[in-house]
Amino acid sequence: MKCPYCDADNQSHVVDTTRDTQGGIRRRRECKVCGRRFSTYEQVLRAMPLLVKSNGDREAFDREKLIRGIQTACAKRPIPAAGINALVDRIETHLQQLGRDEVSSRVVGDMVIEGIKELDPIAYIRYAIVYLGLDSVASVRDLLDSLLAEQGTPPSARSNAVKSAQPGAAPIAEAGVRIPVSQDSPPETTSS
């Protein structure tokens, strides 16, 4: 181990060792030559399989890219970063346990969509629209209906929720009432 301050080679000793939750080891070291302390971090590097895209291209697994995609779906939702990291950790572990050189990117996508469904239903819908290529309101509604059915929401409550979200109605959350908005007349203004 080379000292980052005086460049002394193999002239340090370990003062303290701690392990983190991801399996890494942090070591606090002290240089015998200059007396300064520094930290090193050790982590086992595991081989990750290449992802085979639907068009046949191969791409290295990128943890940060996966986290960014999940964070986009979870934007402005009450999902802790630890939940997203735990999901990505599970996906990485699964890919490593497969023991293959190449894995379909669909495997990762399916694991993400199931994991997001457990984290937050709104984030799940956002991710599913893009991942599943839903390109019509009917296909999104089918997805919503299946999600509501899984959650045990009765069909009558589902249809009432859809009716209350009809275009042309403005929500009044405090009163719990919806007031129709006319598109023909301009809004009323008060003069002072």
* Same domain assignment for residues 103 and 18: no
Is 176 within a domain?
A: no
* Same domain assignment for residues 75 and 150: yes
Is 187 within a domain?
A: no
* Same domain assignment for residues 60 and 123: yes
Q: What is the pLDDT of residues 48-91, one digit of tens each?
A: 899 999 999 999 999 999 999 999 999 999 999 999 999 999 99
* Same domain assignment for residues 77 and 148: yes
* Same domain assignment for residues 116 and 65: yes
| Three-state secondary-structure class, residue 80 | coil
* Same domain assignment for residues 39 and 102: no
With 0.75 as the threshold, say if the pTM is over it: no
* Same domain assignment for residues 18 and 66: no
As a whole number of angstroms, the distance between CA 183 and CA 36 comes to 73
As a whole number of angstroms, the distance between CA 9 and CA 29 comes to 13
Per DSSP, what are the bridge partners of residue 110? none
As a whole number of angstroms, the distance between CA 58 and CA 61 comes to 9
Number of domains in the chain: 2
As a whole number of angstroms, the distance between CA 159 and CA 22 comes to 45
* Same domain assignment for residues 84 and 28: no
In sequence order, which residues have a C-beta less than 8 Å from that of residue 48 and are 6 or more positions away?
60, 61, 92, 95, 96
Do 49 and 95 meet the contact criterion of CB atoms below 8 Å apart? yes
Residue type for 75, please? A
Per DSSP, what are the bridge partners of residue 13? 30
* Same domain assignment for residues 80 and 150: yes
Do 12 and 32 meet the contact criterion of CB atoms below 8 Å apart? yes
What are the pLDDT tens digits along the chain (192 aa)? 899 999 999 899 999 999 877 678 999 999 999 999 999 988 776 788 999 999 999 999 999 999 999 999 999 999 999 999 999 999 999 998 898 999 999 999 999 999 999 999 999 999 999 999 999 999 999 999 999 999 887 765 555 555 544 454 444 343 344 444 444 444 444 444
Max CA distance (Å), the chain: 83
Nearest Cα residue to 116 out of 133, 134, 105, 128: 128
Is 8 within a domain?
A: yes
- Domain extent, residue 60, equals 50-154
Residue found under tokens 């085979």:
52
* Same domain assignment for residues 60 and 77: yes
* Same domain assignment for residues 106 and 28: no
> What is the chain's mean pLDDT, rounded?
83
